[in-house]
Structure 1
Amino acid sequence: MTDLQPLRRALLSVSDKTGLIDLARALSDRGVELLSTGGSAAAIRDAGLPVRDVSEVTKFPEMMDGRVKTLHPVVHGGLLAVRDDAGHVAAMTEHGIDPIDLVVVNLYPFEATVARGAGFAETIENIDIGGPAMIRSAAKNHAFVNVVVDVEDYAPLLAELEANDGRTTLAFRQSLAQTAYARTAAYDTAVSTWMAGAIGETAPRRQSVSGTLAQTLRYGENPHQAAAFYTDGTARAGVATATQVQGKELSYNNINDTDAAYELVAEFADLGPCCVIVKHANPCGVAKGDTLEAAYRAAYDCDRTSAFGGIVALNQPLDEATAKAIVEIFTEVVIAPGASEAAKAVFAAKRNLRLLLTDGLPDPAAGGMTVKQVSGGFLVQGKDTGQISEADLKVVTKVQPTPEQMADLRFAWIVAKHVKSNAIVYVKDGATVGVGAGQMSRVDSTRIAARKAEDMAEACGLPASPAKGSVVASDAFFPFADGVITAVEAGAVALIQPGGSMRDAEVIAAADEAGIAMVFTGMRHFRH
């Protein structure tokens, strides 16, 4: 085997025909014999280029609605034969097998079929069999064979041939082979994951996770950590599918925080204008308003210090007035389901401000997986899509919450779902006024959130802490009455929590003694 291998014969069989004719023409101009199948062969022939049908080579027609066309020894022998092995060469000669030096295959659009919600039978028909088999054969024999599975590798292939007088280097073929195996692995992962869901298998014996590189990042959470951003192929609206209109390249932390912000603001899709400001993956301000600008200003007021350098997520298209309010301080990223031209013009003066626009809001009720790596393995769980209605709530105190308090309680509960546990959220008049996140003790989170409300009063020139008259949400039950007592001391008049503690009676008694309302949800929202 020599490092440089000539390319004389190619098999092109693609579902996505983007760039196919240009590639076929460039190869044909180099004297490469073209083989193809079905629609690919027809497209090449219609372009006036010489091409042989694979069925002509195998002496077998395509059959069974195209399920069988390349699964033949003439094809796989041409791909797998070791060219400098005398036995392999003899077998090729005996059976009339000619070598194939290049396979260009992109697979049936299985992921796209799943993404658009196709039925079971149609999805099954979009599982490619012959394609992955050819890809794996060619990749295994990369010492002699080139395999291309992505349209973006057409140009590098042609450049390689140009640089090496119609030949390719071993290093180039190895790179193509690695990409090919990653593609078939991702494809099989998509199939197995879909099928597990389709048949209701929540914990399959083997679980795979795959993605497509979207961006190589400068570094991870810290400069000494390598990082990259991968997409999973789903059509879910969010940071992975957004269009970046302007601003610097997104960082690892930007992407993580922006996702957290947009997932939360999507919970308020039907509540009118809403804004979420996130810092270090925790919401530091969340508010609704009569206008988007009012919602932003109320969210900003909750924690003006933390909002500096934060991520802003909006549930409605960005308008000019809101854009002008946002640029009053330094902001890292703004994500929204659209923006007016006037708003874009305001942001254009802030070149480093990243503006991401999506086609809509993600569906909070849509399922999915979360994956966390641990030493020697990884944890997989369903996405937290838990939601409650007013009918699910149980008032456990003598005092009943007012309708206004109930609305704030439900608002606070949704926010708490997106705060790192232990999570405590104070809300008043449709806006957070204090958030306590990620503490080892729930009472500490309660104290921190109350102190944040005091800071808000000082920053905004309020006569008293906005925690007075507020409602409080806790993502999990209060294990002791001390958390309730702390919230009452801060001025809370109603609480919402899952309930279920061994000391529920003690906690309810503390609320009754303080004369406040308490509501149980029966559902917790740990977020570690």
Structure 2
Amino acid sequence: NGGSMSEETCYALAREVFRHTSSYDAAIARYLATTAGGDSGLPETLMILAGREQVLRYGENPHQRAALYGSFGSIFQHLHGKELSFNNIVDIAAAASLVAEFDEPTVAIIKHTNPCGVGSAPTLAEAYAKAFATDTKSPFGGIIAVNRPLDMEAATAINQIFTEVLIAPDFPADVLQLLEKKKDRRLVRLTGDLKKAIGSDIRSIPGGYLVQDADPIGGAGEEFRTVTRRTATAAEERALRFAWKVATHVKSNAIVYAREDRTVGVGAGQMSRVDSARIAVAKAAEENLSLQGSVVASDAFFPFADGLLEAVRAGATAVIQPGGSIRDEEVIRAADEHSIAMVFTGIRHFRH
């Protein structure tokens, strides 16, 4: 060009220069804003600095454009299969966050961000069998996450059904060789610490954004206080803690029936808490799973005794919930009348 740049090149360079300098200025402004957040601990001005990592085929539905921003790929390494979709990525985050709650070998099967089943056991194969038994229909085409390197025994069991995405901290070579035979299955290695990677929860609304602290993995300071005459047995207490961890990852209104280390019924996303309880019971009945002697977790308080009485009729013997209703005493009396052990956590876990 005779020693000069074309107008097109100048525009391209200008875009890159201003993108870079504006990002640098925004980083400084964001840091200074965090030092002046006031009593809320949130910045006066919301600034999001995230480069585009991937243009996605489409969004939640085919008519919606979508792209992935940030450093998701540095935490979740895509090893095999078709490119991750918008819905895959949302489900991956949900599944990985759930199994991160547990120290024991744990498997979670996810559909539309809700757990179909969750199980913990000395081995992943046993944990998968427990999770799958909760709901044997819904896992087809679902997302499975494990919190240990995936061994051959568990991989062989999982390989018997079609799974959209499988997430694990690692896949040994022989396991990869087995699982890669199904070309459409996506394999994702979790390489980062989710407890450190999850920051604020940001949602767009008409006219602005809502920002909140993310509900932390590993609990939010629950107190686990017995409020009934009967105290939970050691086995019931273990089951209650298990059910509570799962319930915090189920869409509200959430009801989870569990035994010591496995779910036996999940009711999610209903406008009525009683309806969620009934759905959980119906799902257990479909799988011929007895709820006699099970425990129940509710993500929010029972506004009336009717939700608790549904659990009693199903055969549950212990309940865990946040408490905080103006009718707590009514619910506690109902629990005492049926010799139910009930624990209040003091912390609600709505998930919308």
Q: Same fold (TM over 0.5)?
A: yes
In structure 2, which of residues 56, 61, 76 is the aligned counterpart of residue 217 of structure 1? Answer: 56
Where do 1:476-515 residues align within 5 Å? 476-515=300-339
Question: Aligned partners of 2:308 and 2:2: how far apart in 1?
Answer: 75
Question: Aligned partners of 1:280 and 1:348: how far apart in 2?
Answer: 24
Which residue in the other structure is 1:19 paired with? none
Where do 1:517-528 residues align within 5 Å? 517-528=341-352
User: What amino acid is aligned across from residue 272 of structure 2 in structure 1?
Assistant: S
The alignment status of 1:285 with 2:117, answered yes or no, reads yes
By how many angstroms is 1:210 displaced?
A: 2.6
Conserved in 2, the CA contact under 8 Å of 1:398 and 1:512?
yes
- Deviation string 1:433-452 (CA, Å, 9 cap, x unpaired) is 11111111111111111111
Q: Identify if the C-alpha distance between structure 1 residues 251 and 397 changes in structure 2 by more than 3 Å, giving closer, same or farther.
A: same
Q: Identify if the C-alpha distance between structure 1 residues 199 and 429 changes in structure 2 by more than 3 Å, giving closer, same or farther.
A: same
The alignment status of 1:174 with 2:29, answered yes or no, reads no
Conserved in 2, the CA contact under 8 Å of 1:311 and 1:333?
yes
Q: Which runs of 5+ in 1 are unaligned?
A: 8-166, 458-464
TM-score (norm 2): 0.93
Question: Aligned partners of 1:178 and 1:381: how far apart in 2?
Answer: 32
Where do 1:187-198 residues align within 5 Å? 187-197=24-34
Question: Aligned partners of 2:174 and 2:151: how far apart in 1?
Answer: 7
Which residue in the other structure is 1:403 paired with? 234
- Deviation string 1:74-99 (CA, Å, 9 cap, x unpaired) is xxxxxxxxxxxxxxxxxxxxxxxxxx
In structure 2, which of residues 287, 290, 293 is the aligned counterpart of residue 469 of structure 1? Answer: 293
Q: Identify if the C-alpha distance between structure 1 residues 176 and 507 changes in structure 2 by more than 3 Å, giving closer, same or farther.
A: farther
Q: Identify if the C-alpha distance between structure 1 residues 285 and 197 changes in structure 2 by more than 3 Å, giving closer, same or farther.
A: farther
Conserved in 2, the CA contact under 8 Å of 1:422 and 1:438?
yes
Where do 1:59-458 residues align within 5 Å? 167-170=5-8, 172-197=9-34, 201=38, 202-231=41-70, 233=71, 241-268=75-102, 270=103, 272-363=104-195, 368-385=199-216, 388=219, 392-457=223-288
* CA-based RMSD: 2.1
By how many angstroms is 1:386 displaced?
A: 7.0
Question: Aligned partners of 2:21 and 2:294: how far apart in 1?
Answer: 54
Question: Aligned partners of 2:291 and 2:112: how far apart in 1?
Answer: 23
Where do 1:30-49 residues align within 5 Å? none
Instruction: Give the number of equivalent residue pairs.
Output: 350
Question: Aligned partners of 1:267 and 1:261: how far apart in 2?
Answer: 10
Which residue in the other structure is 1:20 paired with? none
Which residue in the other structure is 1:159 paired with? none
- Deviation string 1:134-192 (CA, Å, 9 cap, x unpaired) is xxxxxxxxxxxxxxxxxxxxxxxxxxxxxxxxx3342x433443344344444444444
- Between Structure 1 and Structure 2, the one with more helix by share is 1
Q: Identify if the C-alpha distance between structure 1 residues 216 and 481 changes in structure 2 by more than 3 Å, giving closer, same or farther.
A: same
Conserved in 2, the CA contact under 8 Å of 1:6 and 1:168?
no
By how many angstroms is 1:318 displaced?
A: 0.9
Question: Percent sequence identity over matched residues?
Answer: 49
By how many angstroms is 1:211 displaced?
A: 1.2
Question: Aligned partners of 2:200 and 2:66: how far apart in 1?
Answer: 21
User: What amino acid is aligned across from residue 214 of structure 1 in structure 2?
Assistant: E
Conserved in 1, the CA contact under 8 Å of 2:242 and 2:260?
no
User: What amino acid is aligned across from residue 79 of structure 2 in structure 1?
Assistant: V
The structure whose Rg is larger is 1
Larger RCO (CA under 8 A, 6+ residues apart): 2
Q: Identify if the C-alpha distance between structure 1 residues 5 and 477 changes in structure 2 by more than 3 Å, giving closer, same or farther.
A: farther
User: What amino acid is aligned across from residue 285 of structure 1 in structure 2?
Assistant: G
Which residue in the other structure is 1:160 paired with? none
Question: Aligned partners of 1:421 and 1:496: how far apart in 2?
Answer: 15
Conserved in 2, the CA contact under 8 Å of 1:469 and 1:491?
yes
